[in-house]
Amino acid sequence: MFQVLDLGPDGRLVTSDGDDRAAPPPDGTVRWIDLVEPDAPALELLRMRFDLHPLAIEDCATFGLQSKIDDYERYLFVVVHSFTASTVDPLEIQIHEIHAFVGAGYLITVHDNPLPSHEAVWAKATADKGSLERGPSWILYRHIDAMVEATEPLVLRIREQLDDLEWATIEGTGDVDLRQVFRIKRTSVAMRRVIRPLRDTIGILHRRNDPRISQRAMLHLRDVSDHIARLAEMVEETREVAAGVVASHQAFAAQKVNEVMRQLTIFSAIFLPLSFIVGFFGQNFDDLPYGSEVWLGTMIASLILVPAGLFEWFRRNRWL
């Protein structure tokens, strides 16, 4: 579905739905065209009216690309990403991909599903003509900035959950759910695969001194580039900490197993002589001189003194 927002030479904002105005704007008009859930006829319409390159249209029909920027001389083609979390499970994230064409006097955005940050930028642009007055590149900046701002709380929430699991591992306050740790690691790896190309794309965008990007937008894109670089570092740290929590938990588990095995070994060493004594005095031979109270007392005393002596010896050597 097409949505079109125009800022005419008279300073009036005009919104419309449908494909009637999905075309290059008249002189003096700044136009933002938004296409949600694109299909082949809608993309072909854009290609014909704006003379877009078939490779760019092919990219618009395919979601799952890495963030990138392509220069087609008359316009820039930019792919950027964002995340939203599930309301049920914050570790279940959805990756949103937006394709944008930035040309002289127009911005075209194409995405396959609604995005809260996009809706917020659109609502602000329809309420305040200042956004379009600053040009299409400013709208692109506002779009990228809103998407990055929406990503940061998700990263912070994941880090807080991981910090709690890390402290639980270090302090030994309870069992650590490794499934939760592995889910955090899987989520951070998925975010890392998206954020790293996005960081490079924004870095190239603000450094290229492109005439289609205003100086004001370029300056603000530099701040967004720093922001996304910090997010990339946070995601990388989260992935590393998750791997460390798994390794620490396995080390503590191995330590507990070793402690249990040590105690079992000590008890085995204590009871092993008792088995020998009982087995020795329990032999059924008539000629053995064990039919006396002295030998009976000796056996009973050895059953008491030998384990007591071994126990004291282990205690003094701090094995118990």
CA gap 278, 280 in Å, rounded: 6
What is the percentage of the chain residues whose pLDDT exceeds 70?
Answer: 95
pLDDT digits (tens, 9 = 90+) for 254-313: 878 888 888 788 778 777 887 777 777 777 666 666 666 777 777 778 878 887 887 777
**Domains defined along the chain, listed by start:** 2-252 (3.30.460.20), 253-316 (1.20.58.340)
Decide if pLDDT at 75 tops 70. yes
Distance CA 56, CA 99 (A): 9
CA distances to 81, 184, 185, 232, 243 from 236, rounded to whole Å, are 17, 12, 10, 6, 11
Asked if the model's pLDDT at residue 34 lies above 60, the reply is yes
Check whether 42 has a pLDDT greater than 80. Answer: yes
- Report the chain's mean pLDDT, rounded to a whole number: 84
Does residue 174 register a pLDDT over 60? no
Rounded average pLDDT over 87-97:
79
Q: Is the pLDDT of residue 252 over 80?
A: no
Residue 180, H or E segment: helix 178-207
pLDDT at site 286: 63
Looking at residue 285, its pLDDT comes to 61
Find the mean pLDDT for residues 236-255: 80
Per-residue pLDDT, averaged over 40-65, amounts to 90
pLDDT tens for 195-209 read 889 989 988 888 888
pTM (2 decimals)?
A: 0.76
pLDDT at 250: 75
Given a cut of 90, whether residue 21 has pLDDT beyond it is no
Give residue 77's pLDDT band: very low, low, confident or very high (50, 70, 90): very high
- The encoded tokens of residue 101 equal 């064409």
Q: How does residue 76 score in pLDDT terms, banded at 50, 70 and 90?
A: very high
The predicted pLDDT at position 99 comes to 93
The Cα–Cα gap between 305 and 298 comes to 10
Q: How many CA atoms lie within 13 A of 264 on its CB side?
A: 6
